[in-house]
A and B are shown apart, each in its own frame.
Chain A
Amino acid sequence: MKVKLRYPHVAASKPILAELILKTGLPINILEAKLTPMGGEMVIDVATQGPALKSALEYLRESGLEVTELRSLVEVDRGLCISCGACISPCPSRAISFDGSLDIEIDAKRCIGCGICVRACPRRAIRLI
């Protein structure tokens, strides 16, 4: 599950993620981080689900972070999309493909939110969330 963390001013100087990893042993991958002592944002991938995920997110919230579960990092405007496929092969994490009816499908589990598809789309139909 990909999760967006918003760090308020006070939390930015605490090693919250490191403590979570030490406490739970969960593998956590940091996909994006914009942190200053004044606070900031981070996108992480927590490789678990069910109660373990719930308690990990609970821990982050208790530590003072604002936690948003990300279902996807990008969004396709189906009204603009023409199913051309220009976004598929430029995707470095192979997250984009055609589905059975030749519509564009983005695998949220693979997407790293790099934004290459946003520039590759001739219809400007993709945006980062």
Chain B
Amino acid sequence: MNEERGKEELRSYEEINEKIRRGDAVVMTAEEFIELVEQSGLEKAAKEVDIVTTGTFGAMCSSGAFLNFGHSEPPIKMVRCWLNDVPVYKGLAAVDAYLGATAMSETKPFEYGGGHVIEDLVSGKEVELRAESYGTDCYPRRSLETTITLEDLNQAYLYNPRNAYQRYNAATNSSDRILYTYMGTLLPNYGNVTFSGSGQLSPLYKDLNLETIGFGTRIFLGGGVGYVVGEGTQHKPQDGFATIAVKGDLRGMSAEYLKGAVFHNYGTTLYVGIGIPIPIINMRVAATAALKDEDIPVNILDYSVPSRDRPIIKRSNYAELKSGKVVIGDREVPSSPLSSLKVARKIAETLKRWIESGEFFIQRPIELLPNYREFKPLKIKKREVTVGDIMMRLKDLVLARAEDDIKKVAKMIVEKNIDHVPIVNEEGVLIGIVTTWDLTRALAEDKKTLKEIMTRHVITAKESERVDEVAKRMAEHRISGLPVVDDVMRVKGLITSDDISRKLVGRRGL
């Protein structure tokens, strides 16, 4: 299919633009196109429709703006710079800067950030600019404070390295506490599911094989006109996770489609409105433009697992997620979106109107985006301290059996001067734990065997885990020691908060 990709078999870009000029191009939103295909079949719909418009309006953290402030008198080489107390990246020329959506205000963190500054600028509001420098012979000024508006700037353009994921994994939480994530608030014990993306309106999913969306594609960006400027970061088209980088002039955009946002305990971001016209150039493009919510698979991941590889709890799709409830196990769990479907629809409608009224023409990509990209993890090459490095090994431990007499165990505890006794079965598999505190209480209450007093639900650690993860687990559960077990729960050692604080003294890196 590779050589075929992008082939203009049904109509060419020139033919479509000529129809737009004449005012008789047939344009439909992706949802209208789906309906037409259901009524008249794919073949007939593909012949009839020239362009399908799409839309999405969601949180896109890899967004930001390049700004040029102009030169003050005397001029300054800005080394550090803030807009409304949000730090702006200054590793560029004297008065060029990059304002990132997730940079947070130094005075109002987790409340106001780069995304909000972009929204304020586009709304025409005055923004406070503060800058510092060391002063040079060519740029003598050392500091400045002033206010700016979008109009005052020489250039201000949105440049987002990663936007408009083709689709995105949904989130849930198996743990027993509320999680506040970039996927929103996740209630304990699979209490809810959140998802992102607009499903059957998703710009990149509607051109699943990236036959028409490429470098140079003209798009709706933040209420104005923008361009695709290449693949986005973490572009992974082979799995339906293609992304794009986009650019567009902030002047001409609207604050209705660029909204600063906060995810509680996570930070700030920017909601970006993107709409892409998909010219129906061949039958393959028509087929993917007609894909429905139920055709777009979404995995629901467990965000309580602190790993880049989160386990899949359920394979779902946008139809189920948009219905407001998802079945997990034998329970119905409420689901809700993070992206605004209402605004996504409005974007697809607006783009359709622009094209119909002859204001917006489509652009053939100068280059198609790659349809395969390796997705590389970041390897930690410096050795990190693991549980195995500092745990107490079996020879220094006291292990007991459930039937053991309490007094005997108490004696061993005194001899070895320890606080935790894992209880194992005949195969050495962990079945419980007792602490010196449990034993003291047992003696006071005249209990005889460990079985009567042991804790059966034991929090454990693995030898390969990083010490800081285990320290966090101890703090969360307010306990001072964890048995270290292998994959089949056989006890290999024990790690205590004492080990962590004593044995790591003098070590670097924690």
The answer to whether A and B assemble together is yes
Pairwise interchain contact A84-B340, C-beta atoms closer than 8 A: yes
Q: Kindly provide the distance from the CB of B277 to the nearest chain A CB, expressed in whole angstroms.
A: 23
Chain A residues closer than 8 Å to B336, beta-carbon distance = 85-90
Main secondary structure of the interface of A (DSSP, over half): loop
Nearest neighbor of B115 in chain A, beta-carbon distance: A122
Question: Is A116 interfacial (CB 8 A cutoff)?
Answer: yes
Inter-chain contact B185/A85, CB cutoff 8 Å = no
Select which of A86, A94, A101, A124 is within 8 A of B334 by beta carbon: A94
Would you give the shortest CB distance from B119 to chain A, in whole angstroms?
Answer: 10
- Interface residues in B310-357 by Cβ distance below 8 A to A read 324, 333-343, 345
Residues of A within 8 A of B184 (CB): 86, 90, 120, 122
Interface string of B398-438 (1 = CB under 8 A from A): 00000000000000000000000000000000000000000
User: Are B192 and A122 closer than 8 Å at their CB atoms?
Assistant: no
CA of A121 to CA of B214, assembled, Å:
34
Q: How far is the CB of B345 from chain A (nearest CB, A)?
A: 8
Determine how close the nearest CB of chain B comes to the CB of A89; give it in whole angstroms: 4
Q: How far is the CA of A6 from the CA of B178 in the complex (A)?
A: 32
Tell me the minimal C-beta distance from A93 to chain B in angstroms: 11
Is A119 located at the chain interface by the 8 A CB criterion? yes
- Across the interface, name the chain A residue whose C-beta is closest to B326: A89
Are A83 and B187 in contact, with the CB atoms below 8 A?
no
A37 to chain B, nearest CB (A): 33
Question: Which single member of A86, A89, A124 contacts B111 (CB below 8 Å)?
Answer: A124
User: Are B324 and A97 in contact (CB-based, < 8 A)?
Assistant: yes
Q: A27 an interface residue at 8 Å Cβ cutoff? A: no
CA distance A91 to B339 in the complex (A): 17
Of the listed residues A90, A102, A119, A122, the one surrounded by the most CB atoms of chain B closer than 10 A to its CB is A122
Interface SS, B side: strand
How near does chain A come to B236, taking the closest CB pair, in angstroms? 25
- Interface positions, chain B 335-392, Cβ under 8 Å from A, are 335-343, 345
Chain A interface: which of B7-15, B246-254, B255-263, B459-467?
B255-263
> In the complex, which residues 8-35 of chain A have their Cβ closer than 8 Å to any Cβ of chain B?
none
**Residues from 41 to 82 in A contacting B, C-beta threshold 8 Å:** 82
Within 8 A of A (CB), among B172-218: 178, 180, 184-187, 191-194
B342 in contact with A89 (CB, 8 Å): no
The yes or no answer to B59 lying at the interface (CB within 8 A) is: yes
Task: Name which of B193, B259, B342 has the most chain A CB atoms within 10 A of its CB.
Answer: B342
CB < 8 Å A-B pair total = 79
Contact indicator B271/A82 (Cβ below 8 Å): yes
Chain A residue contacts of B262, Cβ below 8 A: 122-124
Chain B residues near A83 (CB-CB < 8 A): 340-343
A103-B342 CB under 8 A given contacts A82-B271, A88-B334: yes
Asked if B393 lies at the interface with its beta carbon under 8 angstroms from chain A, I say: no
Q: Are A119 and B264 in contact (CB under 8 A)?
A: yes
Question: Does residue A92 face the partner (Cβ distance < 8 Å to B)?
Answer: yes
> A88 vs B345: C-alpha distance in the bound complex, in angstroms?
19
Are the C-beta atoms of B261 and A122 separated by less than 8 Å? Answer: yes
Is there contact, CB below 8 Å, between B340 and A90? no
Shortest Cβ gap from A83 to chain B (Å): 4
> A85 touching B192 by the CB < 8 A rule?
no
Least Cβ–Cβ distance between A111 and chain B, in angstroms: 15
Instruction: Say whether B57 faces chain A, with CB atoms less than 8 Å apart.
Output: yes
Complex-state Cα separation, A97 to B336, whole angstroms = 9
CA distance A123 to B263 in the complex (A): 9
Residues on the B chain within 8 Å of A122, using CB: 59, 184, 261-263, 269, 271, 338
Partner of B259, one of A87, A92, A94, A123: A123
| CB under 8 Å from chain A, chain B span 239-285 | 259, 261-264, 269, 271
Q: Which residue of A is nearest B335, CB measured?
A: A89
Give A82 to B178 CA distance when docked, in angstroms.
24
- B182's nearest neighbour on chain A, judged by CB, is A122
Report whether A90 and B342 are in contact in the complex, using a CB–CB cutoff of 8 Å: no
A123 and B261 contact, CB distance less than 8 A: yes
Across-interface contacts of B271 in A (CB, < 8 A):
82, 84, 122
Q: Are A120 and B339 in contact (CB under 8 A)?
A: no
A89 to B193, CA, bound (A): 7
User: Shortest Cβ distance from A86 into chain B, in angstroms?
Assistant: 5
Task: Across the interface, name the chain A residue whose C-beta is closest to B183.
Answer: A86
Which residues of chain A (93-123) have a CB below 8 Å from chain B?
94, 97, 101-103, 116, 119-120, 122-123
Q: Per a CB cutoff under 8 Å, which of A84, A90, A102 touches B185?
A: A90
Contact B334 A119 (CB under 8 A): no
Among A85, A91, A97, the residue within 8 A (CB) of B340 is: A85
Expressed in whole angstroms, the Cα–Cα distance for A87 and B334 within the complex equals 11
Q: How far is the CA of A94 from the CA of B334 in the complex (A)?
A: 8
Q: Which single residue of chain A is at the shortest CB-CB distance from B343?
A: A82
Q: List 17 A-B contacts (CB under 8 A).
A: A82-B340, A84-B58, A84-B340, A85-B340, A86-B336, A86-B337, A89-B193, A89-B194, A89-B334, A90-B186, A92-B191, A103-B342, A119-B264, A120-B184, A122-B261, A123-B262, A124-B111
User: What is B's interface to A at a CB cutoff of 8 Å?
Assistant: 57-59, 111, 178, 180, 184-187, 191-194, 259, 261-264, 269, 271, 324, 333-343, 345
